[in-house]
Every structure is written in C-alpha cells, then in structure tokens.
C-alpha cells in the first residue's frame, strides 16, 4: 500500500502544481489587461506626480548596456512600479526584435542600417533615434609591447582588412620586429565590429583567418591582448580604462597627428575616426505610453552623469538638450 | 619442472605488474576529475566568499558591484524549476512507461527510441532556437518565464525518458508476471507493482536532469532571458533571468569587483546543484526502503 501511495502521490502532486501554474497564467494575463486599461487615464494627466506603472522592454548592444542599466536602475528608484528589463542581444539582435515590435527601446552602438530600417518600415514601426553618449573605440596592445608608439589609419587597415597579407609586424612598418601579429576582434554581431569595419576598413570587412580570434566577450579580448606581446585588439574605451595596468593604448593618426583616446579627445571629436556615438532607438507608439516617455526623458536628462561612471564620455550639454527636444 | 616454475613465476610477476600499473592509471584517471573540480571550487571560494553576504540574496542587480545582488536570478531559476519539474515529470515518465510497458516492439517504436536517444545528445542551443520559434514566436508566449521553462522541458525530456526507461527496465519481469497472475490490469500492474520499485531510479533521473537545466545558459540566451531584471516575475508571462545568465553578465563587465560577484554567484549555483543531487540521494534511499 505504501508503495502505491508513493508513486500516485507524486503524480497527484505534480498535477496539482501544473494546474496551479495554469491558473497563475490566467491571472497574469488578467493583470496585464487591467494594467493597460488603468494606464489610459494617466495619458491625459501628464504631471509628474502620477504614479507610473508598466513594463518597458529594452534589448540590444552590450556596449550600451551599462548606460541603460544605470538609467533603468535609477529610474526604478523613482518609479517603483515600472519594470525595465534589459537584454543584451547585440545591436543587430536588438534591431531584429525592435522591428518586430517585441521591445520598446533598442540599444545600439551604431546607427540603424538601411536593411533594418526597411524591416521596421515594413512592420509599420516608426521610431525616434537618440544619441546618448560617446565611446572611444580603443586600439590596444600588450603592456610589454615596446615598439609601437602610434599607428595610422592606413596601417590599421592593412592589419585588419579582409584578404590582408600582413603576417608580421615588419609587414606593417619597416622599423617593427619581424614577429607574427596576433589579432583580437569583437564578433560580427557586435556594433563595435561594424563601427571599426566602417571607420577603418571602409566596409571591406575584417579578415577571418588563423591570425585573428573573435569573441563577443570583451574581457576575453582584454585577456588575449594582455597575454601576447605581439597581440593587438580593439574594444570600447571602458574596457581599456579598467585594464590600464595590463594594456597600452595605441594613439591613432588619421592625418592630423597621432591622438590618444581620452575623455577630452573623445568628447571634442579630435579622436577621429574612432570616437563613436551610442544610441537608443525608441518605438514611437511605445513613446505614447507615459511610463516610456518619462523613462526616455529621464534617460536623456541624466545619462551624462552615468556615462562617466561606467566609462563612457558624455555628450556636450547642448546636444542633450537637442535630443530631449525630439521627445516632446 | 624447474623451467616451468620459473616461467610461471615470471608470468605471475608480469601480471602483477600489469595489475599494479592499471591500478595507478585508474587512480590517476579519477584524480584528474577530482583535482580539476577541487581546483575550481577552491579558486571560486577564494574569489567569491567575501561577497557571499545577505545582500547577494536580497538585492537586485546593480551597476555598482557593492550592493549588487542576484535576487531576481535566484528566484527566476527556482520558478523555472518549479514549472519544469511537474511538466517534465509527467511527460517524461509517461513516455517512458508507454515505451517500456505499453508499446509493441515494432519498427516504429525502435525509430522513436533511436530519436529520443539522439535528442538527448543534441546541443542545447538547438533547443533554444526551437523554443524561440515555437514558444516565443509561434505560440506568442514572448520572452517569458513559461517560454523559458517549456524550452528547458524540451531539453531535459529525452534525458528523463531514457533514465526512466532504464529504471523501469530494471524491474524484474517476475514482478509484472505475479501482478498479472493475480488478475491485475496493465495500469494496476504499472502503478502498483512496476512504478514503486522503479521510482527511486526515475526520481534520480528527473532530479539530475533538473540540475542540468539550472546550469544551462545557451537556450535561455536564445529565447531572450534578460540580463538586467530588477523585479521578481509575478506570473508565468513575465520576463525573467536565471543564475547562469547573471553570472555571465557579471563576468563580462570591465570592473574587477564584478568578477568576485560572479564567483559568489557560481558558489550559489553550485550549492543549489549540490542540494538537488543530495535530495536525489535522499529520495532514492527513502523509497528503496519501502520496496
């Protein structure tokens, strides 16, 4: 008898739990409709005292993530009932969801591509693009590298471009040692790859052979470059800043002298062409929801101070004012 | 005579030597695993113990390492487990009972069997893609807890079916024969005679499959479990995150303090796994006494 109870008991228990969850499912959908219904009156009254609620789904670039995370965290302290989940599918992955209408805001480390814009248009999704901060894409070598003082854009192109025949540092510049170059690059789904490809390689694409390793994880790029004397790689400024003890940043010469990425050179645009703007794209229809509008406003008004904290460079104040004007 | 004895002695010495060498080899083989695991655990404990504070369990993730916690990830993992466990138990054990007790041994059942064994070895990311198309898009469950749990259910089902089948097959045929001889129906035989003695094995299989699921990241990344979630899911249609994703997120941050947080996250995950495996052993012992 005991044995019978054992098996049937478990069977019953699991059935009950299953039922309970199905019931919970019904509840949550009810809550959802109730939530949106109670939102409509707040639409009319737009003063700040109105209690905001709802969910603002955000996904996209891992580079923009720290900024959005900071904004979401602080916004949450002011509006406890607004949920702001943030994902990191990469800029491309974010736009894919954005143009299907699955998320309200897309994080992007490059402007939207024509093909992505066409997808959005086909789905009837209109959007507002907002610049939120600058990032200085930093070209780095290992601390133990003692021969590089700067590289020109042409030399970078020669090293990384598709079909490049460069194998050793000597192939890049005659004064460099004849040691093989070990390259590290973010993967093709990241906006960082796209930006480098555009700014340095004229969209020719990054080489893909034995000499180069790709990784979506910036920390493994840091480890890779730091660990190989003849290595070179590139990633966001924040990752260089946190690893200054292991890495040496390479000043880049685009014809106006070699310029090192710093907060100043990135902000005033003299670190060209590798200082890049970061964006968020907001779905216009979602912007009609008061909580989304409030969040985006909050984002633009406060992101300058968060930017410094997470290793990015704030835009000039007047540009934030211009961005804020887009969402009235 | 003497010559024979010498040859024998030499042969015996050789065999002993062989035995001794293989003994060393097997000990070495075992210690590789044990050493690797203990190196991992010690390394992680050194990094993570300092961050193993109540904050870790009571706080939501934050951009600042201090005061950053994994409340949403821990709760997300547990919720997912609670949804998965009953669904995968019912479907997994049901399929195993059908295949072992009811199905005729035909070409079709052999095909099904082969497919299930193959599915048990399919890389988990493939289930992620399936879950994305089927649950997230087609059934429009969005990137929700239930979509994640169902995807994970698909992932563990083949493992559960295979292990449950093995447990059921291990029940001696005489038990079934005795039951049938007393006039019991198929279901009575299965429920009162076969399952009780197969249950310890079945439960162990289920729990081990569950512990694989809570450590799994790839399929959940695919279906869009999120990285920054500062709330607890209140229903099964809500967004969620799980421990491995939180750990991955912390590891990918540039600041060093987050590495310690990641280590403490791993400690929590290991503790949870250990707890589950321990309960598998307890359950098995409890039911084995009853049989």
Q: Please indicate, yes or no, whether residues B40 and B92 belong to a single structural domain of this protein.
A: no
At residue B228's C-alpha, the angle toward residues B226 and B230, to 5°, is: 115
pLDDT at A104: 92
In a mutagenesis test of the A interface, which of B63, B135, B191, B202 is the best target, namely the one with the most A β-carbons within 10 Å? B63
Q: Please indicate, yes or no, whether residues B78 and B187 belong to a single structural domain of this protein.
A: yes
At residue A56's C-alpha, the angle toward residues A73 and A37, to 5°, is: 125
Digit-coded pLDDT (tens) for A94-149: 999 899 888 999 999 888 999 999 999 999 999 999 999 998 899 999 999 989 99
Give the CA count within 13 Å in the CB-facing half-sphere of B106.
Answer: 4
Q: Please indicate, yes or no, whether residues B97 and B215 belong to a single structural domain of this protein.
A: yes
Per-residue pLDDT for A176 more than 60?
yes
Q: Please indicate, yes or no, whether residues B113 and B160 belong to a single structural domain of this protein.
A: yes
Q: Please indicate, yes or no, whether residues B124 and B208 belong to a single structural domain of this protein.
A: yes
Kindly report the average pLDDT of chain B as a whole number: 88
- What per-residue string of b and e applies to A197-214 under the rule 16 or more CB within 10 Å gives b? bebbbeeeebbeeeebeb
Q: Please indicate, yes or no, whether residues B83 and B218 belong to a single structural domain of this protein.
A: yes
Strand, helix or coil at B151? helix
Element (H, E) at B3: helix B2-48
Q: Please indicate, yes or no, whether residues B131 and B22 belong to a single structural domain of this protein.
A: no
Residue of A203 and A14 predicted with greater confidence: A203
Residues of chain B contacting residue A11, judged by C-beta atoms under 8 Å apart: 90
A311/B254 CB distance under 8 A: yes
* Domain final residue pick, B51, B69, B89: B51
Domain total for chain B? 2
Which of A82, A85, A78 has the alpha carbon at shortest distance from A102? A85
Q: Are B192 and A4 in contact (CB under 8 A)?
A: yes
Element (H, E) at A68: helix A65-78
Mean pLDDT within A34-58? 57
Residues of chain B contacting residue A70, judged by C-beta atoms under 8 Å apart: 63
For residue A70, give how far its alpha carbon lies from the nearest alpha carbon of chain B (Å). 6
A7/B199 CB distance under 8 A: yes
Q: Please indicate, yes or no, whether residues B283 and B159 belong to a single structural domain of this protein.
A: yes
In which domain, by residue range, is B149 found?
55-290
Per-residue pLDDT for A4 more than 60?
no
Per-residue pLDDT for B285 more than 50?
yes
Residues of chain B contacting residue A66, judged by C-beta atoms under 8 Å apart: 63, 253
Per-residue pLDDT for A13 more than 80?
no
Q: Decide if B197 touches A, using CB distance below 8 A.
A: yes
pLDDT at A3: 45
Domains in chain A, CATH or no CATH each: 53-134+278-325 (3.40.190.10), 138-260 (3.40.190.10)
Q: Are A63 and A187 in contact (CB under 8 A)?
A: no
Q: Please indicate, yes or no, whether residues B24 and B113 belong to a single structural domain of this protein.
A: no
For residue A325, give how far its alpha carbon lies from the nearest alpha carbon of chain B (Å). 28
Digit-coded pLDDT (tens) for A218-255: 888 999 999 899 999 999 888 898 888 999 999 999 88
Query: Which residue from A4, A14, A73 is facing B86, i.e. has the nearest CB?
Result: A14
Q: Please indicate, yes or no, whether residues B157 and B44 belong to a single structural domain of this protein.
A: no
Digit-coded pLDDT (tens) for B227-262: 788 888 888 888 888 999 899 888 888 788 888 889
CATH of the domain at B214: 1.10.3720.10
Q: DSSP letters along B9-62, please?
A: HHHHHHHHHHHHHHHHHHHHHHHHHHHHHHHHHHHHHHHHGGG-SHHHHHSPP-
| Other beta carbons less than 10 A from residue A258's beta carbon | 13
Residues of chain A contacting residue B96, judged by C-beta atoms under 8 Å apart: none
Strand, helix or coil at A132? strand
Q: Which of residues 57-76 of A touch B (CB under 8 A)?
A: 57, 59, 62, 65-66, 68-70, 72-73, 76
What does the CA dihedral B263, B267, B270, B276 come to, rounded to 10 degrees? Answer: -150
Q: Please indicate, yes or no, whether residues B44 and B28 belong to a single structural domain of this protein.
A: yes
Q: How far apart are CA A287 and CA B164, in angstroms?
A: 52
Q: Please indicate, yes or no, whether residues B73 and B6 belong to a single structural domain of this protein.
A: no
Per-residue pLDDT for A151 more than 70?
yes
Please state the three-class secondary structure of A191-246 as a single string: HHHHHHHHHCCCCCCECCCCCEEEECCHHHHHHHHHHCCCEEEEECHHHHHHCCCC
Strand, helix or coil at A106? strand
Give just the sign of the alpha carbon dihedral B259, B264, B270, B273.
negative
Q: DSSP letters along A266-317, please?
A: HHTT-STTTEEEEEEEEEHHHHTSHHHHHHHHHHHHHHHHHHHHTT-BPPPH
B82/A89 CB distance under 8 A: no
Q: Which of residues 304-323 of A touch B (CB under 8 A)?
A: 306, 309-311
Beta-sheet pairing, A127-136 with A231-235: unpaired
For residue A253, give how far its alpha carbon lies from the nearest alpha carbon of chain B (Å). 26
| Other beta carbons less than 10 A from residue A146's beta carbon | 11
Q: Could you tell me the pLDDT band of residue A42, with boundaries at 50, 70 and 90?
A: very low
Digit-coded pLDDT (tens) for B263-276: 999 999 999 999 98
Per-residue pLDDT for A29 more than 80?
no
Kindly report the average pLDDT of chain A as a whole number: 83
A28/B237 CB distance under 8 A: yes
Per-residue pLDDT for B289 more than 70?
no
Alpha-carbon distance values, B78 to A132, B207, B274 (Å): 36, 13, 14
Q: Could you tell me the pLDDT band of residue A27, with boundaries at 50, 70 and 90?
A: very low
Q: Which of residues 1-60 of B touch A (CB under 8 A)?
A: none
């Amino acid at each position: 008898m005991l044995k019978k109870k054992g098996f049937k008991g478990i069977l019953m228990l699991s059935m009950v739990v299953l039922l309970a969850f199905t019931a919970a499912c019904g509840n949550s959908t009810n809550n959802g409709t109730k939530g949106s219904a109670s939102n409509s009156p707040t639409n009319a009254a737009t003063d700040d005292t109105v209690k905001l609620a709802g969910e603002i789904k955000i996904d996209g670039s891992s580079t923009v993530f720290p900024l959005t995370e900071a904004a979401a965290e602080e916004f949450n302290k002011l509006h406890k009932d607004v949920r702001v989940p943030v994902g990191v599918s990469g800029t491309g992955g974010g736009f894919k969801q954005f143009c299907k209408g699955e998320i309200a805001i897309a994080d992007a480390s490059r402007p939207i591509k024509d093909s992505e814009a066409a997808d959005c248009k086909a789905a009837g999704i209109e959007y507002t693009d907002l610049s939120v901060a600058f990032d200085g894409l930093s070209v780095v070598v290992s601390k133990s590298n003692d021969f590089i003082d700067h590289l020109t854009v042409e030399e970078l192109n020669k090293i990384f471009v598709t079909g490049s025949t460069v194998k050793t540092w000597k192939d890049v510049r005659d004064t460099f040692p004849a040691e093989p170059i070990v390259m590290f690059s973010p993967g093709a789904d990241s906006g960082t790859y796209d930006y480098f490809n555009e700014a340095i390689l004229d969209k020719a694409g990054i080489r893909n052979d034995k000499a180069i390793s790709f990784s979506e994880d910036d920390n493994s790029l840091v480890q890779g470059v730091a660990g190989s004397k003849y290595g070179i790689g590139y990633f966001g400024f924040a990752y260089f800043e946190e690893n200054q003890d292991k890495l040496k940043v390479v000043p880049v010469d685009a014809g106006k002298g070699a310029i090192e990425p710093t907060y100043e050179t990135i902000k005033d645009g003299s670190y060209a062409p590798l200082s890049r703007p970061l964006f968020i794209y907001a779905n216009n229809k979602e912007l009609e929801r008061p909580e989304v509008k409030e969040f985006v406003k909050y984002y633009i008004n406060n992101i300058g101070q968060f930017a410094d904290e997470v290793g990015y460079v704030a835009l000039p104040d007047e540009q934030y004012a211009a961005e804020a004007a887009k969402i009235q | 005579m003497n010559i024979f004895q010498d040859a024998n002695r030499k042969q015996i010495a050789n065999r002993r030597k062989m035995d001794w060498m293989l003994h060393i080899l097997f000990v070495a083989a075992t210690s590789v695993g044990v050493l690797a695991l203990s190196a991992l655990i010690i390394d992680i404990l050194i990094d993570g113990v300092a961050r193993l504070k109540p904050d870790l369990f009571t706080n939501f993730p934050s951009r600042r390492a201090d005061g950053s916690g994994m409340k949403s990830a821990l709760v997300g993992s547990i919720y997912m487990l609670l949804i998965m466990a009953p669904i995968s138990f019912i479907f997994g054990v049901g399929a195993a009972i059908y295949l072992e007790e009811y199905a005729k041994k035909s070409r079709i059942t052999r095909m099904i069997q082969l497919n299930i064994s193959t599915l048990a070895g399919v890389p988990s990311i493939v289930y992620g893609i399936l879950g994305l198309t089927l649950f997230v898009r087609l059934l429009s469950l969005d990137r929700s807890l239930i979509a994640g749990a169902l995807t994970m259910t698909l992932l563990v089902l083949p493992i559960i079916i295979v292990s449950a089948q093995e447990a059921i097959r291990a029940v001696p045929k005489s038990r079934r024969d005795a039951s049938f001889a007393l006039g019991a129906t198929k279901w009575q035989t299965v429920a009162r005679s076969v399952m009780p003695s197969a249950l310890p094995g079945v439960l162990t299989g289920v729990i081990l499959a569950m512990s694989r699921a809570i450590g799994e990241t790839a399929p959940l990344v695919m279906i869009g479990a999120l990285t920054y979630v500062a709330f607890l899911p209140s229903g099964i249609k809500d967004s969620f995150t799980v421990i491995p994703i939180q750990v991955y997120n912390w590891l990918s941050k540039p600041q060093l303090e987050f590495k310690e947080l990641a280590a403490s996250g791993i400690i929590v995950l290991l503790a949870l796994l250990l707890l589950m495996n321990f309960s598998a052993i307890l359950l098995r012992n409890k039911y084995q006494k009853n049989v």
